[in-house]
Structure 1
Amino acid sequence: MITLEPQPAAKVRRPRVSLHVLRITLVLHAVMIIAQPIAAGYFLAGNVDAIAPHTAVGGTIWMIAMLQTVAAACYTLVGRGRIWPAVVSPILVVAEFVQLTYGHLQNFAVHVPLGTALVGTVIWMAVWSFRPTARLNRREAKR
């Protein structure tokens, strides 16, 4: 007589630590990038001293994006999470460096719309990182 015993389910590897690190960098990135239009608004309203924090934060945001790129690569490679954060993050590094350059050149025709796109993208990524689908590995996410 053959008895069929239930086989233990194979352990599914999901991003955990790498997702937490990615979340931390995304939240830090989002907080800093949200501060930028606020400081710019104060400057445009006549507070000329507000340009100093806008410049200082702008000079560090792209470095936070570099940390985010490392965290996203770990999330993708080690945690076997989705691939797109590891693709979008280095694009953000380049875009934010371009943003910094055009800000220093005072080319607001590029600086303002690019800044708007960057704020939206970073906030979108930060919100996504807290959604349940961010915890899924690549195979589970395809289903």
Structure 2
Amino acid sequence: MTATIEQPTKVRRPRATLQLLRITLVLHALLIVAQPIAAGYFLAGNVDAMTDIHATIGGSVWIVAFLQTIVAACYTIAGHGRLWPTITSAALVIAEFVQLTFGYAQNFAVHVPLGTAIVTAVVWMTVWSFRSTARLSRREAKR
């Protein structure tokens, strides 16, 4: 009678894709956190802050969110990471485009609360990406 020893299945974890996601999230977070600061300069009387800083960043930040969605999809598919960062990133693309639209329309009743939600989501995702649970594969995360 021969004993067979089962080899544990090798679990693929996201490594390079997680690093790319972290870099993208940090860039996104820096741009997003700069937005309320620029709006604060405008409210303090610096009229140029709205057009020079706030509008410029706002016009490009949703493109960074789109890039983040692509990187998050790589994290999910190639890196065997979780699915929710990809879904959340795609939702951020839509939310930031809506944010941009309402900002240019000067509809602050939507623009300010939506901006708060976007800042919260991006900062939360960035913090999560540096936690040890971000390195877990989908299979390990289900346990």
Q: Could you state the TM-score of these two structures normalised by the residue count of structure 1?
A: 0.95
Moved segments of 4+, more than 3 Å:
4-9
Identical counterparts, % of pairs: 66
Aligned-partner Cα distance in 2 for 1:33–1:141: 29
Q: Report deviation, 1:10.
A: 2.9
Give 1:59's aligned residue: 59
Contiguous gaps of at least 5 residues in structure 2: none
Q: Does 1:35 align with 2:38?
A: no
Q: Does 1:74 align with 2:74?
A: yes
SS of structure 2 residue aligned to 1:80: coil
Q: Report deviation, 1:75.
A: 0.6
Aligned-partner Cα distance in 2 for 1:9–1:117: 43
Q: Report deviation, 1:25.
A: 0.5
Give 2:16's aligned residue: 17
- Partner amino acid, structure 1, of 2:118: L
- Partner amino acid, structure 2, of 1:96: E
Matched residue pairs, number?
Answer: 142
Aligned-partner Cα distance in 2 for 1:100–1:141: 35
Give 2:106's aligned residue: 106
Q: Report deviation, 1:5.
A: 7.6
Q: Report deviation, 1:32.
A: 0.2
Q: Report deviation, 1:7.
A: 5.1
Give 2:126's aligned residue: 126
Aligned-partner Cα distance in 1 for 2:44–2:103: 18
Q: Could you state the TM-score of these two structures normalised by the residue count of structure 2?
A: 0.95
SS of structure 2 residue aligned to 1:47: coil
